[in-house]
Copies of this chain bind each other. A is one copy, B any other.
Amino acid sequence: MDLTEKSRRVPEKILLGPGPTPVEGRILRAMAEPTLGHLDRDFVAIMDETRDLLRMVFQTGNDLTVAMSGTGSAGMETACVNMIERGDKAIICSHGVFGSRMQDVAGRCGAEVVEVNAPMGRPIDPGDVERAVKANPDAKFLGIVHAETSTGVLQPLDEIANLAHMAGMFMIVDAVTSLGGMEVPVDRLGLDMVYSGSQKCLGCPPGLAPVTVGPRAVEHIKGRKTKVQSWYLDLTMIMRYWGQERFYHHTAPVNMIYGLNEGLRVIAEEGLEARFARHRKNAESLWAGLEALGLELLVEPAYRLPSLTSVRMPVGVDEAVVRGRLMEEYSIEVGSGLGDLKGKIIRIGLMGSGSSRKNVVLLLSALGAVLSGEGFANDVGAAIEEALAVIDG
Contact = CB atoms under 8 A, between A and B. Distances in A.
Q: How many copies does the complex hold?
A: 2
B28 A34 contact: yes
A38 B72 CA distance: 13
A37 B251 contact: no
A103 to B, nearest CB: 11
A7 B227 CA distance: 40
B229 A109 contact: yes
Contacts of A199: 35, 251
Interface string A247-260: 01111111110110
Interface in A138-157: none
A199 B36 CA distance: 11
Interface stretch (A19-27, A127-135, A273-281, A373-381): A19-27
B7 A232 contact: no
A94 interface: no
Chain A, interface residues (CB within 8 Å), range: 35 or more
A40 B13 contact: yes
A220 to B, nearest CB: 19
Given A231-B105, A251-B19, A258-B10, A70 B70 contact: yes
A347 B205 CA distance: 33
B7 A26 contact: yes
A52 interface: yes
A178 interface: no
Interface string A59-89: 0000000000111111011000000000000
A338 interface: yes
Nearest to A253: B207
Contact of A35 (B15, B104, B327): B15
B7 A30 contact: yes
A49 B5 CA distance: 13
Contacts of A258: 8, 10
A259 B52 CA distance: 28
A203 to B, nearest CB: 10
A231 B108 contact: yes
Contact of A3 (B7, B72, B250, B265): B265
A33 B8 CA distance: 9
B37 A1 contact: no
A73 B35 contact: no
A40 B333 contact: yes
B53 A30 contact: no
Given A8-B46, A69-B71, A101-B231, 19 more contacts: A1-B49, A3-B269, A6-B26, A6-B269, A8-B30, A8-B33, A11-B36, A13-B37, A28-B255, A31-B32, A40-B333, A41-B327, A71-B250, A71-B253, A73-B250, A77-B231, A205-B255, A205-B256, A207-B255
